[in-house]
Amino acid sequence: MKRLWGKQVSDLGFGEFLRKLKHQSKKRIRSVLKIDRWSPTSKCCCVCGYKNETLTLADRHWQCPRCETYLDRDPNAAMNILKEGVASFGLGVVRPIVLFNRIVGTSIEATSPLLKSTNAFA
């Protein structure tokens, strides 16, 4: 189907997923936040914020020249998306836990009573 219809098939699938996600979040009294499509989540170091302009899609791992943290592209992007989501709701601060120049976990410092009352962790 994708060969025949091209990008339309992918757009329809993702649009349907978003529609269902919004419906379920409304049902469970939750919020869905979309971050900017062009936000450089893979290029920014989640530890120090350094932006790697030379990163290409072929680069799956890279080391930050500022803090020397070894970063895997996808977990780094996920951490940056989590940071942006938590900050946009004003719930707290997300900090990666770094051990021997590798990210081993996440710490969320709650500044909102709403986040302090949940059992959620990353």
Segments forming the whole domain that contains residue 79: 35-122
**Looking at the structure, do residues 86 and 26 belong to the same domain, yes or no?**
no
Q: What is the mean pLDDT of residues 62-84?
A: 94
* In the predicted structure, residue 73 carries a pLDDT above the cut 80: yes
**Looking at the structure, do residues 102 and 81 belong to the same domain, yes or no?**
yes
**Looking at the structure, do residues 118 and 69 belong to the same domain, yes or no?**
yes
**Looking at the structure, do residues 64 and 97 belong to the same domain, yes or no?**
yes
**Looking at the structure, do residues 85 and 110 belong to the same domain, yes or no?**
yes
Residue 5: pLDDT band with limits 50, 70, 90: low
**Looking at the structure, do residues 68 and 51 belong to the same domain, yes or no?**
yes
**Looking at the structure, do residues 26 and 55 belong to the same domain, yes or no?**
no
Give tens-digit pLDDT for 21-54.
899 999 999 888 888 888 889 999 999 999 999 9
Q: How many domains does the chain have?
A: 2
Are the CB atoms for 67 and 112 separated by under 8 Å?
no
**Looking at the structure, do residues 96 and 63 belong to the same domain, yes or no?**
yes
Give tens-digit pLDDT for 84-112.
888 888 888 889 999 999 999 888 888 77
Residue 77: pLDDT band with limits 50, 70, 90: very high
Instruction: Give CA–CA dist 72/74, Å, rounded.
Output: 6
Q: What is the mean pLDDT of residues 6-27?
A: 79
* CA of residue 99 relative to chain centroid, distance: 21
Instruction: Compare 4 and 12 and report the one with higher pLDDT.
Output: 12
**Looking at the structure, do residues 39 and 93 belong to the same domain, yes or no?**
yes
Instruction: Give CA–CA dist 78/63, Å, rounded.
Output: 17
Q: Record the pTM.
A: 0.74
